[in-house]
Amino acid sequence: MSATREPIAVIGTGYVGLVTAAGFAELGSEVFCVDVDAEKIASLQAGEVPIYEPGLADAVRAHRERLHFSTQLGPALEGARLLFVCVGTPPTYSGDADLSAVREVVEELPRSDRHALVMKSTVPAGTGAGIKRMLAERGNAGLAYVSCPEFLKEGAAMADFRSPDRVVIGDDGSWAGDAVVELYEPLDARLIRTDITTAEMIKLASNAFLATKISFINEIANVCEDTGADVLDVARGMGLDQRIGPSFLRAGLGYGGSCFTKDVSALKQLASNTGYHFQLLNSVIEVNELQKRRVIGKLQRHLGQLAGRGVTLLGVAFKPHTDDMRGASSLVLAGRLHAEGARIRAYDPVAEEEARALMPEVDFAPSALEALEGVDACVLVTEWPEFQELEWRLAADRMAGRLVVDGRNALDPEAVRAAGLVYEGIGRR
């Protein structure tokens, strides 16, 4: 690696911040990480990574000598010109993105014509222009601004950093755009250079389109159930058309996570703030909400009243290979099952600790088989590989009832049926 790599600062050490920091440290940059959470910084200084993300802890450990953690911005400003902003932008009650953490960063910055803000946090289109106005009002117009949206997926974030489908860099022609391009050069990724607002829109539009694909295939799955078609074959048949592509056509119990939920509603809100009614996105959101609830209907169809019935959730995280519970479909399912009076059990290989406080009504077990003890039905919520390898004969021995609802279409129906159980997928024959 070149010894002359540009050092960087990373403000915010959540998923995006830590992966960005570890990734650039791996490429040879000195990285100054800053977070307001003193506890988190202390554990990072001690070599502990507070989130579960495959490969992240290894990368942080491997490049420790280049990773510096602090609650103070001072050392970062001294050590780096490029300040990557990776703070949270959660939704507000109105559906707009809450930019207060971004504003706090901007307010803390001293006057400088040596530094640049590089926005990785997902922000509404137009935010960069607003921040530049804010900087100018504060006499800080010399501070450069670049939009460099992040496209990593939780559970595969390090791999996504190392080989991104594309890197998008939006700037206004200052030195900083070229400096960010140079940082990414070793990854040899396809580069899109554009203006700041367009870069912001690429991020929002990408997430909204992926969410649209999911809601679309979920509606197709629901129609498959009424017509006797099989959604897996339908998705395969559609996906071979290069104009459609095979990914994000997995039907199931709806998308979860913090990003799609937040960004789809932020884009819808952004449009309506300017007077445009983004009709399609309303449907994407509604279909997703209904999809999570359809599983309850399937349980009721087989079991009748759910009061007093035992139901196990296999997996609770919003997707496999993460302990992230934000926007997880399991939260809606557990809430509905609780309201119906069901007894709820669950097992998740890594998310139990995150989940416990969020679902006090759920009785967690230390393994899948133990979670199935004496229940009437189970629902596969998160497609962890270990559920795909479950010995269904052993599961059948433990369960009091027969029903297996495969909320992710991830199981082998024949293996489940061979154990004497009743298999029900989403849009599967």
Task: For residue 235, count other CB atoms closer than 10 A to its CB.
Answer: 23
Query: What does DSSP assign to residue 330?
Result: H
Q: How far is the CB of 191 from ligand UGA (least distance, A)?
A: 17
Choosing from 33, 86, 148, 259, which is the catalytic residue?
259
Q: How far is the CB of 288 from ligand UGA (least distance, A)?
A: 9
Task: For residue 144, count other CB atoms closer than 10 A to its CB.
Answer: 26
- Taking CB under 6 A as the rule, which mask of x and - marks residues 100-139 in contact with ligand UGA? ----------------------x-----------------
| 3-class DSSP state of 344 | strand
Query: For this structure, is 259 an active site residue?
Result: yes
Told to check if 248 binds ligand UGA by CB under 6 A, we report: yes
Q: Which stretch binds ligand UGA (CB under 6 A): 84-92, 145-153, 335-343, 385-393?
A: 145-153
Q: What distance in Å separates the CA atoms of residue 218 and residue 252, rounded to the nearest whole number? A: 6
Element (H, E) at 340: none
Q: How far is the CB of 98 from ligand UGA (least distance, A)?
A: 15
| Strands, sheet with 82-85, edge to edge from the N-terminal-most edge strand | 67-70, 31-34, 8-11, 82-85, 116-119, 144-147, 167-171, 191-194
Residue among 180 and 380 whose Cβ is closer to ligand UGA: 380
Q: How far is the CB of 155 from ligand UGA (least distance, A)?
A: 7
Site size toward ligand UGA, by CB under 6 A:
21
Residue 1's alpha-carbon distances to 4, 7, 24, in angstroms, are: 9, 13, 11
Q: Which of 164, 252, 315, 425 binds ligand UGA (CB under 6 A)?
A: 252
Q: How far is the CB of 383 from ligand UGA (least distance, A)?
A: 8
Residue among 250 and 294 whose Cβ is closer to ligand UGA: 250
Identify which of 200, 177, 315, 343 has the alpha carbon closest to the alpha carbon of residue 267.
200
User: CA torsion sign, 402 to 405 to 409 to 410?
Assistant: negative
- Taking CB under 6 A as the rule, which mask of x and - marks residues 306-325 in contact with ligand UGA? ------------xx------
Give burial (CB, 10 Å; 0-12/13-18/19+) of 356. Answer: middle
Told to check if 424 binds ligand UGA by CB under 6 A, we report: no
For residue 292, what are its two tokens? Answer: 């999570």
Element (H, E) at 81: none
Told to check if 184 binds ligand UGA by CB under 6 A, we report: no
Residue 227's alpha-carbon distances to 69, 309, 394, 427, in angstroms, are: 57, 30, 34, 9
Q: Which of 26, 30, 35, 154 binds ligand UGA (CB under 6 A)?
A: 154
Told to check if 256 binds ligand UGA by CB under 6 A, we report: yes
Residue among 260 and 392 whose Cβ is closer to ligand UGA: 260
Told to check if 214 binds ligand UGA by CB under 6 A, we report: yes
Q: Which stretch binds ligand UGA (CB under 6 A): 5-13, 139-147, 223-231, 256-264?
A: 256-264
In contact, 145 and 123? CB cutoff 8 Å? no
Residue among 184 and 248 whose Cβ is closer to ligand UGA: 248
Told to check if 152 binds ligand UGA by CB under 6 A, we report: yes
Residue among 18 and 73 whose Cβ is closer to ligand UGA: 18
State the SS3 of 400-418. Answer: CCCEEEECCCCCCHHHHHH
Binding site for ligand UGA (CB under 6 A): 122, 150-154, 207, 210, 214, 248-250, 252, 255-257, 259-260, 263, 318-319
Q: Give the residue numbers marked as catalytic.
A: 259
